[in-house]
Amino acid sequence: MSEKGTGAQLPLDLGHRRAMGRDDFLVSVANEDAVRWIDRWPDWPPPGIVLVGPPGSGKTHLAHVWAARSEATFAPPDLSAVPARVPIVVDDADRAPERELLFLFNAARANAATLLLTAVRPPSQWHTKLLDLRSRLGTLPVAEISAPDDALLAAVLMKHFADRQVPVPPEVLSFLLARLERSFEAAARTVAALDRAALARRRPLTLPLVREVLAELEI
């Protein structure tokens, strides 16, 4: 089926495979502290750490790396169902139910289990109402991922394109680096839009196509 008047094809969203191994993670000054914390496990203070970073910064990727090493379980939304006797990952812990998170924290400490919590902001900036939970979270070390520098942003863009199996010419990468907001989220969003446009228009990823798409996105 084509869009009337444009000849563009509506692409099917078939998804793409994201590489989640340790060797696939891109290390720079923006995330080297977080990577050091992951690599030093099991030498963590009990019961664990908080991994903090902006959306799309690789928190879940690093959590998968740690889970593979520690044989950790990713917690479901119902934290009360999590067995606190094994290493546990709680993604988006800042949005978890407070009483359940407090129970999990206490159970993990009692059973010498390890917790890896991920969040966009450190616990000191969460709107935590339970004082007991707030004080316990305040004891956890924070491993932080900051906004990407140019080198990391270039590597992130290349990884997103590679995950989608989209060849990217050097001039396209340079063009994007000169114009994109310095954020992981912007990189992921832009690559997704370029991939959709290339599929829809049945064109390779060229500089003219990138200019068109960025103009449509007002970037």
> CATH 1.10.8 region(s) of the chain?
150-217
Average pLDDT over the chain reads 86
Helices 207-217, 184-201: inter-axial angle, 10-degree rounding: 120
Over residues 94-126, the pLDDT tens digits come to 999 999 999 999 999 999 999 999 999 999 999
At residue 7, does pLDDT exceed 60? no
At residue 85, does pLDDT exceed 70? yes
Q: Hey, what CATH topology would domain 150-217 get? A: Helicase, Ruva Protein; domain 3 (1.10.8)
Quick one: which H or E segment has residue 135? helix 131-137
Over residues 129-152, the pLDDT tens digits come to 999 999 999 999 999 998 888 888
CATH 3.40.50.300 fits 27-144, yes or no: yes
Cβ neighbours of residue 90 under 8 Å, at least 6 residues apart? 75, 79, 96, 101, 104, 115, 116, 117, 118
Q: Which residue matches tokens 């906004």?
A: 147
**Whole-model pTM over 0.85:** no
Please write down the long-range contacts of 161-169, taking CB distance under 8 Å and 24 or more positions apart: 161/191, 161/195, 161/205, 162/19, 163/16, 163/17, 163/18, 163/19, 164/16, 164/191, 164/195, 165/16, 166/191, 166/194, 166/195, 166/198, 166/205, 167/204, 167/205, 168/205, 169/205, 169/206, 169/207
> CATH 3.40.50.300 region(s) of the chain?
27-144
Q: Name the residue among 201, 202, 207 with its Cα closest to residue 168.
A: 207
| Highest mean pLDDT out of 1-5, 14-18, 118-122, 161-165 | 118-122
